Structure 1
């Protein structure tokens, strides 16, 4: 009987942990369903047009509306998931909130869809790397060369797309007379949030680089010690 009493809490804890892992895996699998919207926005920006850097503030096209509606559903789902399970911090919640409001505003105004699609493309282009990182972590393969490659690619892609390309597009948005003032304010807010993410990523990159360097120093010292021990023998 005492063994049964002690085993029941263990079983409950095990079930809860398995459910939590299953929920996280399900969320990651569902977030992989956003690539269709990513592919559509890439097609809109590079092929269908208009070019967002030279024609901001133009009327929404049916394809742009489709991409925004699909992305809106993804962001609403992910926002609800993050709030319910408390999986993300305030910065990510702010990002999702601004994304949802921005898409709704663009759909309501009936214009600036090309800018919204360009922002969606730039925001979600790093998502496959984030999901790859998650799967590497949960399969025990993150602390490897592949994990380092994924992190480096993520940082480089984020800096290039969110900071440099995003900054260029924001400049084109601000100097153009076509976009409405509220759309320009939304662009400034999203770009400012990108810099908040950039600071967090910079801290992460610094901590990981420092940890890698310390491990390299420790291995080097251990090799020297082992070499000296061999000489003494």
Structure 2
């Protein structure tokens, strides 16, 4: 009887994931139809932005309102709201993974992130527990996504170079370090210290946290190059101002 119920539950979950996948593909197809002049990546990033905002709101509600608190109750049984959030994200990550592989737009680090996310969500849905910490990880991972997409749109529209682009970059780096490294590290400690989560869940948490450090290394390299370029540009402007000022006095 339990096996039969288990089979029915998994069939229902597979159907929900399929519906969500079709939904994300349909949103993308609609955007390409209505906004085709912008290109495929533009519309895919609009889908990514929409998913990021939606899933952050849903997982924030789960963590702060619906409960339980992920830092004190890891490894607990999945709730309907957690399943909803996980199914939404699994459908999206499957769509985005397929898009990235087809168009070859992402490197191995991002593909590894998508692969771990898909495998982790499937495992959580399969065993029926640890949904709360999975939702917390999704919240921490996706909360920086709107800033990342905003940066890309600013670059494509020629509005990135300036105070707005610098502000977006600064907020992204600060939020990434705080959420993915700081809060994420505390979440991992709670996961490892608790006797409830399965060992495979703990291993998955370690893998996702290590991947966050790989992302951080890439971000720091980018920040170093950008700060260096800004400093060199400032030096050139400063020297140019000195020369112009000197020439003015001679005249």
Compute the TM-score of the two structures, normalised by the length of structure 1: 0.91
Higher-Rg member (1/2): 1
Give the CA deviation at 1:135: 1.1
Give the CA deviation at 1:32: 2.0
1:184 aligns with 2:202: yes
| Contact 2:77 2:129 survives alignment (8 Å) | yes
1:59 aligns with 2:57: no
Give the CA deviation at 1:36: 1.7
| Contact 2:75 2:133 survives alignment (8 Å) | yes
Cα deviation code 1:25-63 (max 9, x no counterpart) = 111111122122221101001111100101000000000
Distance 1:107 1:188 in 2: 19
1:27 aligns with 2:44: yes
1:82 aligns with 2:100: yes
Distance 1:173 1:164 in 2: 14
Structure 2: runs of 5 or more not aligned: 1-35
- Please say which of residues 93-102 and 39-48 is displaced more in the overlay: 39-48
Cα deviation code 1:130-170 (max 9, x no counterpart) = 11101110110100100000000000000000001000000
1:196 aligns with 2:214: yes
- CA RMSD across the alignment: 1.1
Distance 1:83 1:186 in 2: 23
Compute the TM-score of the two structures, normalised by the length of structure 2: 0.84
> 3-state SS of the aligned residue for 1:32?
helix
**Residue 114 of structure 1 corresponds to which residue in structure 2?**
132
Distance 2:232 2:210 in 1: 33
- Please say which of residues 129-138 and 154-163 is displaced more in the overlay: 129-138
- Please say which of residues 192-201 and 19-28 is displaced more in the overlay: 19-28
Distance 2:121 2:37 in 1: 31
Deviating beyond 3 angstroms after TM superposition, the runs of 4 or more aligned structure 1 residues are none
**Residue 22 of structure 2 corresponds to which residue in structure 1?**
none
| Contact 2:55 2:142 survives alignment (8 Å) | no
